[in-house]
Each structure stands twice: as C-alpha cells, then as structure tokens.
C-alpha cells in the first residue's frame, strides 16, 4: 500500500508502481497533484496506475483476506480543501459528498474480512500537539491538521462496523519545529480502530554503519484481527536491520 507523495508528479514513479505484480493499493498525496493548475499531471498518473488507485472507492487489489477503502485523494490535511488540480480531475466535490463516498465504499466491503482505510492525511481527532499523529509541526500554534471528511466518515462507518486500521502519511515523523523530535506514529481509539502514520521521510538512507536501508511500515493480521504493527528498516538483501514495534506494546 502507498500512502501518497510518491513524487512531485514524476511519471516514472507511477510507471514503476504500475508494474508491481502483487496486490497493490495507491492513495495519491498533495505533492502528486502536479501543481500545474489544470490537472494534466494528476490525470496522467491516474491513467498509469489504473485500478491500483482507490480514491473514494473499495480497492480492486484482489486480496480476499483484507478490504481496503480509499479516502479523498491528494489531501493536504487541515480540514477540507480541494486544489485546482483535484477540481479539474474530480470536479467540485463538497464535504458531505466526500464523506458519503468514503462511507459508501466501506458499506460495499465484505464484512467477513478486516477493513482498512487508506488515506494520505489522517482524520481529525488524533490530537492537536505538534507531535500528534496528524499534528501541524511546521507552524505555530500547533493544531490538529487531520482531514475533516475522513473523521466524519469514520463516525458514520462505526454505526455499522468498526474499521480495524487507518493508514496514512503526509505529516512526517521528524518534526520541523522543536529540535530533534519525532511524532507519535500509532494510536488505538476506544472503539478498537488503530491508526498508523507511515510517513518516514526520507524512506531510504544510510545508517551509522554505512548500510543502505529502506523503511516500510509493516502490519499483520491473524484470523481477522490486527496482531502486529511496526516500522521496519530493511537492508538490500531484504533482512531487517532495525524494527520499532508499535503494536502490541
């Protein structure tokens, strides 16, 4: 699963993802919109990715053990706002329409397998500190920078089922204000839904020993229940160099 901000509209990334043979679900981020005003770059990425994109829809990723529903594409967080590029491609989508699309997609998911919501920005309600999962850390005062439509959609979805997991990115793990601090990246609410921020930036790097590493947020389900969530840093040979276990604590 991809949580967005693949690039600043570089079509080579979308082409590479389109060739992945295993089940894949993609949510495009605010950087992916292309910033061209007319939506041509965004439209080109959507054409390349095809059914791998799950914006406002139930993913067609052909994995029977897990349902994935996409939230609003290209979100920049901060409540509800559509860029000119998003309007050019998807039309003038109002707040209530976005909410209804997410809820409708969740209703279409089979109830026999876990439901995962894939977003670029997480929902409102996860804290207003800079270090919160969706907290604004680049400008004072800090505040909740989550998506309003996703928060409202989750409220409605809970009336007929409890989503097991919401996965998103956007707000980077490393905080921009306050020194060398990192944000909280996992939470579990009172209803039993878990929230995972996967925005480790940069995703590739070199550790103090000179090893080339690549970060993945890793989740596991066992018999329909979420049993493991972690951040993992892999070596080139696919072995794990470091692991931060988030759930169970």
Model confidence pLDDT, tens digit, residues 27-42: 999 999 988 999 999 9
Query: How confident is the model at residue 45, as a pLDDT?
Result: 96
Nearest 10 degrees: CA dihedral of 180, 182, 183, 185?
A: 180
Domains of the chain: 11-200 (3.60.21.10), 202-249 (no CATH)
- Could you tell me the pLDDT band of residue 233, with boundaries at 50, 70 and 90? very high
Q: Examine the pLDDT at 213 and tell me if it is beyond 80.
A: yes
Question: Please, what is the average pLDDT of the chain?
Answer: 96
- Could you tell me the pLDDT band of residue 62, with boundaries at 50, 70 and 90? confident
- In Å, how far from its chain's centre is CA 108? 20
DSSP E strands: which ranges in the chain? Answer: 67-70, 115-118, 165-168, 186-188, 194-197, 204-206, 212-222, 225-234, 240-247
Percent of the chain with pLDDT over 90: 94
Model confidence pLDDT, tens digit, residues 105-148: 999 999 999 999 999 999 999 999 999 999 999 999 999 999 99
Q: Examine the pLDDT at 93 and tell me if it is beyond 90.
A: yes
Q: How far is CA 17 from CA 11, 78, 145, in A?
A: 10, 28, 28
Query: How confident is the model at residue 9, as a pLDDT?
Result: 86
């Amino acid at each position: 699963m991809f949580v967005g901000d693949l690039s600043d509209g570089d079509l080579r990334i979308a082409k590479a993802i389109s060739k992945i043979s295993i089940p894949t679900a993609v949510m495009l981020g605010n950087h992916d919109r292309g910033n061209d005003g007319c939506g041509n770059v965004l439209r080109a990425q959507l054409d390349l990715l095809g059914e791998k994109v799950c914006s406002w829809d139930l993913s067609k990723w052909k994995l029977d053990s897990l349902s994935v529903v996409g939230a609003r594409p290209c979100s920049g967080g901060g409540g509800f706002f559509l860029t000119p590029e998003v309007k050019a491609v998807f039309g003038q989508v109002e707040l209530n329409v976005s909410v209804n699309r997410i809820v409708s997609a969740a209703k279409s998911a089979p109830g026999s397998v876990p439901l995962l919501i894939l977003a670029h920005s997480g929902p409102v309600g996860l804290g207003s500190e800079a270090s919160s999962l969706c907290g604004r850390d680049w400008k004072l005062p800090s505040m909740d920078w989550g998506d309003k439509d996703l928060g409202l959609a989750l409220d409605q979805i809970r009336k007929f089922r409890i989503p097991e997991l919401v996965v998103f990115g956007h707000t980077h793990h490393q905080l921009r204000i306050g020194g060398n601090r990192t944000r909280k990246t996992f939470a579990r609410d009172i209803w039993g839904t878990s929230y995972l921020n996967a925005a480790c930036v940069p995703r590739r790097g070199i550790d103090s020993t000179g090893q080339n590493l690549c970060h993945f947020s890793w989740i596991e389900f066992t018999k329909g229940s979420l049993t493991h969530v972690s951040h993992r840093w892999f070596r080139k040979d696919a072995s794990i160099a470091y692991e931060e276990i988030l759930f169970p604590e």
